[in-house]
Amino acid sequence: MVKIFDSIYVNNSQEIVLELKDITPKGYIENYRRKLFCSTEGCNAKLSFVAKSGNRSYLRTWRYSLHSKHCLHFFVKEEGEISGKRPNVQIGVVYGDQMNRSQKEAFELELLSEEERVKRLEDKSRQRNNRNNRLRKRSTSEQLTIHMNLDPSKLTEDIPKLKARLYKRDVDTLKKNDLGHARTLIGRIQSVDYSEQNAIVRIYKNNTYMNVKFEKAFFASAPTYSNLFLYIQRFSEENDSVIFCATGEVRKNMDNDEFELIVINKEGLLIHGMTLPSLVASYATQQLSF
């Protein structure tokens, strides 16, 4: 692909040719962001500036923006490229309120009898099918591939985002096609192991076990949680069959071939219907009831 060394800065009716050497990170953020375009005549592709140390900064085509066919920088994205860069791919973001709602629904389902649970799921499925039928009538023929992202702060501004559906799974119902995707998992706590920057909650259902892991990325975003997992351990030891719901990315442990869930967001866990801060507060005021 041909490197891009200059651009057209467009501000209302003003158009100025800007070379790469004229753009600084500070100037781009304050003045040029969203206003740089390809300098080829007749091409309206949008450009962005990528700051690198030394002399390695560069201009690139704004993701999902296309150069005209006569442009020197025109290219066609081939099948098999990273899917997140194809025009028919959108990023589904899992937000905190969505995680909370998913975990709350999962906890409530776990408390129901099998008959009540089946009825609840059938009602939800019927509502969802009705909604999907309405949306299908309004949709275009283009099919979108949706990739879930649990950390909205890591998404760049040029990626189109939508709020995608978050699926719930019991520990014993996970399948191979769940790998790499965001899921809310439901199980019962078997054990809790923790250190300052790492915690593992082992959960099970119907003799199927898996680990829910909280690693450095989790504690970096939620440093106040580093000393709180002892309360989950204490609660699970003082009570039988504690329900644990967590939202994260499903992976496969290469050592034991078990599924595991990686949680990176502080909204990603619920302990028998309580958030971790709520559980800690309940111990502080001795208001716990089970």
Is a pLDDT exceeding 90 seen at residue 275?
yes
Same domain? 231 vs 100: yes
Q: Residue 164: its pLDDT value, please?
A: 59
Average pLDDT of span 114-125: 72
- Least confident span in 2-16, 130-144, 204-218, 238-252: 130-144
Looking at the 3D structure of the chain, how many domains does it have?
2
Is a pLDDT exceeding 90 seen at residue 141?
no
Taking the C-alpha atoms of residue 181 and residue 239, their distance in angstroms, rounded to an integer, is: 31
Q: Residue 89: its pLDDT value, please?
A: 46
Same domain? 156 vs 242: yes
Range of the domain at 193: 93-116+142-285
pTM of the model: 0.60
Average pLDDT of span 143-171: 60
Which one, of 43, 78, 38, 99, lies nearest residue 246 by Cα?
Answer: 99
User: Exposure pattern of 137-161 as b/e (b: 16+ CB <10 Å)?
Assistant: eeeeeeeeeebbbbeeeeeeeebee
Same domain? 147 vs 277: yes
Same domain? 108 vs 247: yes
The reply to whether 131 falls in a domain is: no
Same domain? 147 vs 228: yes
Q: What is the CATH number of the domain that holds 151?
A: 2.40.50.140
Q: Coil, strand or helix: which one is 60?
A: strand
Q: Residue 68: its pLDDT value, please?
A: 82
Same domain? 41 vs 100: no
Q: Residue 217: its pLDDT value, please?
A: 87
Taking the C-alpha atoms of residue 203 and residue 188, their distance in angstroms, rounded to an integer, is: 5
Q: What is the dihedral of CA 275, 171, 240, 234, to 10 degrees?
A: -50
Same domain? 105 vs 207: yes
Same domain? 23 vs 148: no
Average pLDDT of span 210-222: 92
Same domain? 59 vs 188: no
Q: Residue 153: its pLDDT value, please?
A: 55
Same domain? 26 vs 59: yes
Q: Which residues face 47 on adjacent strands?
A: 36, 61
Is a pLDDT exceeding 90 seen at residue 117?
no
